[in-house]
A and B are shown apart, each in its own frame.
Chain A
Amino acid sequence: MEKVKPGTREGCVNIGDAAFPKPFYPGLEFNSPAHGTWNIVHIGMLIPETREIFVCADGCMRGVVLTAAEMNTEDRFSFVLLDEEDMTMSDIDDVTIEGVSRCLDRLKEAGKMPPAVLLFTVCVHHYLGANLDHIYGELEKRYPDIRFVRCFMDCILQKAKPAPDIKLRAAMYDLIEPVKQDSTLISLIGSELPLYKTCDIYKIIEIVSGSPAANVLSRTVNPVLKNLPESYFKAIEDGRGLRPQMNAITFKEMATLITYEEFLDIGKSAMLMAVQPAAKMALERLGGRLGRAAFYMPAAFDMDTIERQWHELADLIDENCMGSAWKNNGEHTELHELMDREIESLREDCGRALKQALRTVGDTEIRIDSSFHPRPLELAALLLTHGFKVTGVYTETFNPEEEAAYTSLRKEFPELNIYSIVHPEGRVSHGNAPGAIAIGQKAAWFTGTKHFVNGVYGIGLFGFDGIIRLCGLMEEAFKTEKDVEDIIVRKAWGCESCV
């Protein structure tokens, strides 16, 4: 990819002039009051019954310990504070080992020993050259009944190497052991939010297996996900039966796990899947270690991409879970024909939904942000090519998977504005498009509109079904106002919050 030019020092650039994948110069950063994205504390808490222990200075600790408090999981969180003496006069390895040991000894006295500890070391450990093998090895020796997961809050590395949340998603699954395979089990890993049960993945499973996918949940989700909107559950109730049936495939989602044992059962999966870019590293690591099929099927808005994903997933399910029952002379011809008929119908449904949404919102300005969905450019391209007036996308970097959408938008819609979400001027230049429809919390704050589609990480939207649902959400946003401040200041959309 030819670089257009280095990232601009301005807070806004036309996509026609924007560098890929980093359109903005990395200068000072501000932080908007939109906090719906999940941080490492929220993500780690998805493993039921475990405890997180952080070892860092007060300033770094404050954000994570209050994250736990706000989500009412302070009883699953411990920490060791580091001070100047620890960093300059002591051995950081010893300080970490003894501090964590003290936490665990007190938990033992209280009868609260966890099955596993997510132990987070930080920039300071990295900077001081802490011997992590020694730290974890010694703790494993002292507490043989506890599994220790190597987690990091090393923000100083996040611009050059995988960010802490990506490394955490990968490390969490290090607890999974390769137990005996269950050919009817597919697990979706690395997603914080459950998918809608009407989404394409469930449809594909049903077509391939001949019966609806069983799911381990009804109205029950992971204990931390107490603020999911009712629409999730309505979708379940409206959908077809989810009770396990003979030969049915069980589709297990990380966000639906209730117990630690259920989490460990991921090790039985015949096939692993991920739909979030941040989970790709986890998928590759776990799939490789367990020796199981691993399929990365990122949520997309490009219909050709979605169509291709349908066929790929169907083939893999048949091969890994159905004993290649659909294969004839080495081909999946019959299955693909079945798929194509369904896809054609869904494409038509998408077209109708987009037209209906356009009739409703007309030429209302639309702005999208990258916290809503990892593919904001594809979403912008979809809407622009269907006549919507998308005027801006808020993102700090482009998702490398969106290079095709970037190229297409540069050619077809070069005037599309790309806005930085951390540029210093953003602190004072918000509220400049109050009549817009915002897709995402940050877009809502920057525009100052009360009409917005709320959510993060694609909110369980997936495939053709995701496009149709999003059209409905845009219409709803156009017609109704939301209390933006009350909604967006809460951390981790969908997660329990005491705020």
Chain B
Amino acid sequence: MRIENSYIVTPCYTADASGVCSALFELGGMIVMHDPSGCNSTYNTHDETRWYDKDSLIYITGLTEIDAIMGNDKKVVEDVSDAAERLKPAFITICGSPIPYLNGTDYNAIASMIEKKTGIPAFAVHTNSMHDYIAGGGAALKEYVSCMLKILQKKYGLNDIRNIKSAICDQSLSEHDKIYQQSSDKSDKNNRRVINILGASPLDFGDFRTITSIKQAFVNRDIDISTSFAFGSGDIKNGVDIDGILLPDLNADVNLVVSAMGIPLAKYLYEEFGTPYVLGVPTGKFAEVLSEDIKRAAAAGTCSTGYAKNSAGHRRKAGDAGKLEPGPADKADPAREIDVAIIGEAVTMSSLAAAIRLQYGCNVKVLCPLEFSKSALTENDMAFKGEEQCIELLKGVKHVIADPLYRPLCPETAVFHGLPHVAFSGRCFIRDVKDLVTILDT
């Protein structure tokens, strides 16, 4: 028996299907969860803080026992097509839940049939509600961009998808001019770098002001933000409109991955277009380090984990996106007693850890309970699963920074600092969610 699956006091993170919906919420599509009931209610109640104010076409199929047993996929195709013909979405995404997973439902075939029937681009994201939002949201962003680029490739009659960048260059570069004009710092245009933010969603950035704060953190450091794909805020757009399709800026110099949810797309864009990516959020004093990393990445075409060289001294090497190699600085000491343990999403919390190290000189360890995040963690940090392992890892720690619902796992001897995380506690502490860029300023 695996004890890590039994919980008596903490909740679970939101699941892959919610990650899909959250990641694609603002892109004008229709997202359908193949599920009997509950997935949509759970998502819009606990995970989607935009639900009341912003309409987005997110549905469940209302799967019944008889349709599941008989494999009645025809009904799914007809129902989705009927709704799509009424509502004219920009695209259709279908993802799943446990029973369709057990059935071996062929989502790709369903998407293909829907696309054929409606003429609307359709693609599948293979979720089963047994993984966390990082997995679902990450796959959704990557599949969406991949699907849309194929459409553009066909439209422009290109043999190689890599040629899209030059085909749409005028549209995208005119956006760059606008960004430059809007920039408050009129330094030499050639020195400025344009980036996309990838992976942001309300699940990790419950305080929407964080996106604007990211812009502010870079504005005097010769870095401009083209898009926050696909979660815009303030004057930051959620995508560049290319022939009616919202996409990250393909002519950006660097993609800044602010949550592990953005990693699959960042890797895809690196592999297809050579756009380097950097992992990190410009939290507190870490903003300066991250800025330099972005500029280095832009200049050399290398990918990096911005916070890695500030923890166990590792950084990424170009062309080897999945592995880490030793970097120049190693300011943390794994052998030292842990001053601060931070529990949460890998990229945001690692950035916070880096900022704390710079600001306070503490020994900080990030504990990440989310799947598919190992590549975003440094060697100094740790992935874990379940309450009991978490309790063990927190023994002897002096300070714990985590969502308030982790408090019962915190040792009595430690000081607990609540940092609400929507992907974990939903809207329970929504009024106390912090701006992850300015969190250490006060």
Report if A and B associate in a common complex. yes
Which residues of chain B are within 8 angstroms of A29 by Cβ–Cβ distance?
37, 40, 59-62
Residue A31 CB within 8 A of the other chain: yes
CA distance A106 to B86 in the complex (A): 52
Compute the total of residue contacts between A and B using a CB distance below 8 Å: 207
Contact with B along A407-440 (1 / 0, CB 8 A): 0000000000000001011011000000000000
Which residues of chain B are within 8 angstroms of A98 by Cβ–Cβ distance?
1
Residue B26 CB within 8 A of the other chain: no
Residue A123 CB within 8 A of the other chain: yes
Which residues of chain A are within 8 angstroms of B167 by Cβ–Cβ distance?
none
Q: Is the CB of A63 within 8 A of B60?
A: no
**Number of chain B interface residues as a range:** 35 or more
Residue A304 CB within 8 A of the other chain: no
Q: Given A28-B32, A28-B83, A155-B37, A78 and B17 touching (CB < 8 A)?
A: no
Q: Given A28-B61, A33-B52, A424-B86, A102 and B430 touching (CB < 8 A)?
A: no
Question: Which stretch of A156-164, A205-213, A222-230, A292-300 is in the interface?
Answer: A156-164
Chain B contact residues: helix, strand, loop or mixed = mixed
Question: Would you list which residues of chain A between 67 and 126 have a CB under 8 Å from chain B?
Answer: 69-70, 74-75, 78-84, 86-88, 94-95, 98-100, 102-103, 106-107, 110, 123-124, 126
Q: Is the CB of B32 within 8 A of A87?
A: no
Q: Is the CB of A424 within 8 A of B59?
A: yes
Residue B131 CB within 8 A of the other chain: yes
CA distance A424 to B60 in the complex (A): 10
Which residues of chain A are within 8 angstroms of B16 by Cβ–Cβ distance?
58-59
Residue B130 CB within 8 A of the other chain: yes
Contact with B along A320-341 (1 / 0, CB 8 A): 0000000000000000000000
Residue B68 CB within 8 A of the other chain: yes
Q: Is the CB of B68 within 8 A of A127?
A: yes
Which residues of chain B are within 8 angstroms of A132 by Cβ–Cβ distance?
none
Which residues of chain B are within 8 angstroms of A1 by Cβ–Cβ distance?
none
Partner of B102, one of A9, A58, A87, A498: A87
Contact with A along B16-52 (1 / 0, CB 8 A): 1110000000000000100111111110111100011
Partner of B79, one of A28, A83, A94: A28
Q: Is the CB of A28 within 8 A of B9?
A: no
Chain A interface residue count, Cβ-Cβ cutoff 8 angstroms: 64
Which residues of chain A are within 8 angstroms of B428 by Cβ–Cβ distance?
66, 69-70, 498-499
Residue A491 CB within 8 A of the other chain: yes
Q: Is the CB of A99 within 8 A of B61?
A: no
Residue of A nearest to B429 (CB): A498
Which residues of chain A are within 8 angstroms of B41 by Cβ–Cβ distance?
31, 35, 63
Nearest-Cβ distance from residue A228 to partner chain B, whole angstroms: 21
Q: Is the CB of B6 within 8 A of A106?
A: yes
Q: Given A78-B8, A124-B98, A102 and B42 touching (CB < 8 A)?
A: no
Residue A30 CB within 8 A of the other chain: yes
Which residues of chain A are within 8 angstroms of B7 by Cβ–Cβ distance?
65, 78-81, 103
CA distance A173 to B41 in the complex (A): 28
Partner of B87, one of A26, A428, A489: A428
Partner of B98, one of A9, A30, A60, A100: A60
Which residues of chain A are within 8 angstroms of B56 by Cβ–Cβ distance?
427
CA distance A65 to B426 in the complex (A): 10
CA distance A87 to B101 in the complex (A): 10
CA distance A422 to B59 in the complex (A): 9
Residue B12 CB within 8 A of the other chain: yes
Residue of B nearest to A54 (CB): B7
Partner of A80, one of B6, B35, B37, B426: B6
Residue A57 CB within 8 A of the other chain: yes
Residue of A nearest to B96 (CB): A59
Nearest-Cβ distance from residue A253 to partner chain B, whole angstroms: 28
Which residues of chain A are within 8 angstroms of B11 by Cβ–Cβ distance?
61-62, 65-66, 69, 74
Q: Is the CB of B36 within 8 A of A99?
A: no
Q: Is the CB of B102 within 8 A of A124?
A: yes
Q: Is the CB of B130 within 8 A of A30?
A: no
Q: Is the CB of A62 within 8 A of B55?
A: no
Nearest-Cβ distance from residue B93 to partner chain A, whole angstroms: 13
Residue B57 CB within 8 A of the other chain: yes
CA distance A60 to B40 in the complex (A): 10
CA distance A43 to B55 in the complex (A): 30
Contact with A along B115-136 (1 / 0, CB 8 A): 0000000000000111110000
Q: Is the CB of B46 within 8 A of A59?
A: no
Nearest-Cβ distance from residue A489 to partner chain B, whole angstroms: 7
Q: Is the CB of A491 within 8 A of B45?
A: yes
Which residues of chain A are within 8 angstroms of B132 by Cβ–Cβ distance?
58
Which residues of chain B are within 8 angstroms of A102 by Cβ–Cβ distance?
1, 3, 6
Q: Given A75-B9, A424-B83, A26 and B62 touching (CB < 8 A)?
A: yes
Residue A27 CB within 8 A of the other chain: yes
Q: Which 8 pairs from chain A and chain B are nearest by CB?
A: A59-B129, A63-B42, A59-B15, A155-B37, A98-B1, A102-B6, A424-B83, A58-B15
Offer 28 A-B interface pairs, CB within 8 angstroms, sorted by A. A28-B61, A28-B82, A31-B40, A35-B45, A57-B97, A58-B12, A58-B14, A58-B16, A59-B129, A59-B130, A60-B42, A62-B13, A65-B7, A66-B428, A69-B405, A69-B426, A74-B405, A83-B130, A99-B1, A103-B7, A123-B98, A123-B99, A155-B36, A155-B37, A425-B86, A428-B55, A428-B87, A499-B428
Interface residues of B (CB under 8 A from A): 1, 3, 5-9, 11-18, 32, 35-42, 44-47, 51-52, 55-66, 68, 79-80, 82-83, 86-87, 97-99, 101-102, 128-132, 388, 405, 425-430
Interface residues of A (CB under 8 A from B): 9, 26-31, 33, 35, 56-63, 65-66, 69-70, 74-75, 78-84, 86-88, 94-95, 98-100, 102-103, 106-107, 110, 123-124, 126-128, 155-160, 422, 424-425, 427-428, 485, 489, 491, 498-499
- In addition to A425-B87, A428-B55, 4 A-B residue pairs with Cβ atoms within 8 Å of each other are A28-B82, A35-B45, A80-B5, A160-B64
